Amino acid sequence: MRIPRWSQTCFAVTMIGLGVLGLVQGAFTPTWTGVPRRVPGRAGLIYLTAILSLACGIGLLWQRTVVAAARVLAIAFLVWLLFRAWHFFLEPPSVAIWWACGDSLVMLGAAWVLSGDKGLRFARAVYGLGLIPFGVAHFTFLQRTVSLVPGWLPWHTAWAYLTGCAFIAAGIAVIVGVQARLAAVLVTLQLALFTLLVWVPIVTAHPTASDWTEFVSSIVLTSAAWVVADSYRQGPRVAA
């Protein structure tokens, strides 16, 4: 049995972590948020998404089940994307909705990549499309973004603009296929640095519930980005 790539293993572990977290807390984890309290069967959806994350995460660790697990996850993320997009018709569009849709697109792209080589280019384009709302949020929530830049770095506003532009540029590069591999690798590095330099210091100090949500989300998105970046490596894929 071939050993899964580190990116695949990391993605699987984050899915397992989301599942365990959802079951323990009895609440939606960052990847599965956005369900209004008025929705019937909301409590059941909490445990359904948690069990789905846990089971598919375990499935991604085994060669015989990786394709099936990835396809189930891809379908689930597609359904969640459509659910989140439906908010455009229920309430005025906001950056929060765009961000949520971007999150689902990134996760959908990563799961699709692991489901096999069929439609790989389109899966990457879906992922790239999801990066653009992340960059836009850096500008629309500029004050919040600036406040998250580590204090030891100079020119906080400049960093906020730079990282926002980087997300948008990388998304476009992945979609059109120009320097796509480099863009995917740099985005993975950027998300990993966000996790280490921004969120780790915050959650080890005096974190709020929102800070923990952002921290977990950053870890999950980093693992998804790694999967997509790793898909550009030459040679046969583990999930093929």
Is residue 65 in some structural domain? yes
Whole-number Å distance between alpha carbons of 114 and 36: 30
Cα-flanking dihedrals φ and ψ of residue 69, to 5°? -65, -40
Contact predicate 109/127, CB 8 Å: yes
Contact predicate 171/186, CB 8 Å: no
Tokens of 36: 């209004």
Total count of domains within the chain = 1
In this prediction, residue 147 carries a pLDDT of 83
Tokens of 190: 């950027």
Is residue 198 in some structural domain? yes
- Separation in Å, CA 179 to CA 89, 133, 210: 36, 20, 35
Is residue 238 in some structural domain? no
| Residues near 158 by beta carbon (within 8 Å), at least 6 away in sequence | none
Contact predicate 239/70, CB 8 Å: yes
Is residue 237 in some structural domain? no
Per-residue pLDDT of the chain (240 residues; tens, 9 = 90+): 444 589 999 999 999 999 999 999 888 988 888 777 777 888 899 999 999 999 999 999 998 899 999 999 999 999 999 888 876 665 655 556 778 888 999 999 999 999 986 789 999 999 999 999 889 888 888 887 888 888 888 898 999 999 999 999 999 999 999 999 999 999 999 999 999 999 899 888 888 888 888 899 999 999 999 999 999 985 434 443
Is residue 203 in some structural domain? yes
Is residue 240 in some structural domain? no
In this prediction, residue 117 carries a pLDDT of 66
Is residue 236 in some structural domain? no
Q: Which domain holds residue 200?
A: 6-230
Please name which of 230, 223, 150 lies closest in space to residue 191, comparing C-alpha atoms.
223
In this prediction, residue 239 carries a pLDDT of 40
Contact predicate 61/12, CB 8 Å: yes
Is residue 239 in some structural domain? no
| Maximum alpha-carbon separation in the chain | 50
